[in-house]
Structure 1
Amino acid sequence: MKLNRIQLCSILMVLFHLVGLYGFLNSELEVLFIALVPYHLLLMLGLLIYSTKDFSNNIKIFAVIIYLAGFFIEVIGVNTGLIFGNYSYGEALGLKVFSTPLLIGVNWLILVYCTGVLLEYLKIKNSLIFPLIGALILLGIDFLIEPVAIRFNYWSWSGGEIPLQNYLGWYIFSFLLFFVFKGLDFNKDNKAAIVLLFAQIGFFLGLNMWAF
């Protein structure tokens, strides 16, 4: 049976997250799999690009805006403590500029795009309800990510406590990013993006259940 690009990308997304979950839960492989995190993020971005049906200027504008916004909000946040609270990045996310991993913008881009595609699939049309729900989904994902990020040296919080400010800042910033997704006209039909979103949720949920 010949697979189309959506099916191929979906299978690879699930497979790599399952392998990653196994690696993170295996103490003998943990260091190796932490080192592979940046390459995993880039691979997922590559699969999203390959699976999309739209290479218009609008989707390129969307990607640039979300990447730059995500990166620079983290630059401000990590260097001032004004956005999310006082935190610092470890080495797991790779090369840093201004104490901020360059790939953190890719992470924001993947999360916003995949969640936005899901909301489009659910036919949420209201221009206010759309970002409200999108930001709520990303907030839920952040609750899953935070313990994993601390445990595996993605980032750490001053005093070891995650402040309420982090979740508030995450929600407000996500809310604004979904206005960009909703406002730009490009093809948002990409079922592989939905698969990736649920693969990520499953990955972090699995680590929360079994790694602590």
Structure 2
Amino acid sequence: MDLKTLCNMIPMIVSVEIPIFLLFIGFVVYLTKKDKKSLKLVFYLILYALLFENVNVILSRNNVGGYYYNPGFILLGHVPLFVVLSWVMIIYSSMRITDSFSFSEFSKPFVDALLAVLVDLSVDVVAIRLGFWFWQGYRLTAGWFGVPGNNFIGWLL
């Protein structure tokens, strides 16, 4: 990465990567004190997010509806660290919200996914406009404000 690109990324690093990393540290500290059993779940969610996102980026490369991340972020493979950490906190929070209601064990994963999609509906629209990631073959007026519908299906998997 050249110096100009790095300088252009500083606002995103300061406003996105560092705060999400600090939020994740606080999240893990909280779990360490209040819910140590969930740390194992967090570990598996990290692995899942890393694998799922990297495989999706690789498989969708050069296809309409495919996507790639801004290379100026700290990447784990093809995926920014902040995306992986965000995935973990979104999924964990969705699961805890669902647990606080009287949903059947069968329906909980579907409600978890729905809650995560509701977050993603707004996050993606803003993130693509800020240049965090890019959808191939999509204008900002196509799909859901520039985001292909297949993106939201991914959360349901």
* TM-score bracket, shorter-length normalisation: 0.7 to 0.9
**TM-score scaled to structure 1, two decimals?**
0.58
Q: CA deviation at 1:31?
A: 6.7
Q: Gapped runs of 5+ residues in structure 2? A: 1-7, 139-145
Q: Gapped runs of 5+ residues in structure 1? A: 1-29, 173-212
Task: Give the aligned partner of residue 73 of structure 1.
Answer: 52
Query: Distance in 2 between the 1:33 and 1:118 partners?
Result: 32
Task: Give the aligned partner of residue 90 of structure 2.
Answer: 111
**TM-score scaled to structure 2, two decimals?**
0.77
Judging by fraction of residues, say which structure has more helix: 1
Task: Give the aligned partner of residue 98 of structure 1.
Answer: 77
Higher RCO, 1 or 2 (CA under 8 Å, sep at least 6)?
1
Matches within 5 A, 1:16-27: none
Matches within 5 A, 1:1-212: 33-36=11-14, 37-52=16-31, 53-55=34-36, 58-81=37-60, 85-91=65-71, 94-121=73-100, 123-160=101-138, 161-172=146-157
Summarize the Cα distance change of 1:33–1:139 in structure 2 as closer, same or farther, 3 Å threshold: same
**Structure 1 runs of 4+ with >3 Å offset:** 30-33
SS of the residue corresponding to residue 88 of structure 1 reads strand
Amino-acid identity (%)? 21
Q: What is the number of equivalent residue pairs in this alignment?
A: 137
Q: CA deviation at 1:33?
A: 4.2
Summarize the Cα distance change of 1:136–1:76 in structure 2 as closer, same or farther, 3 Å threshold: same
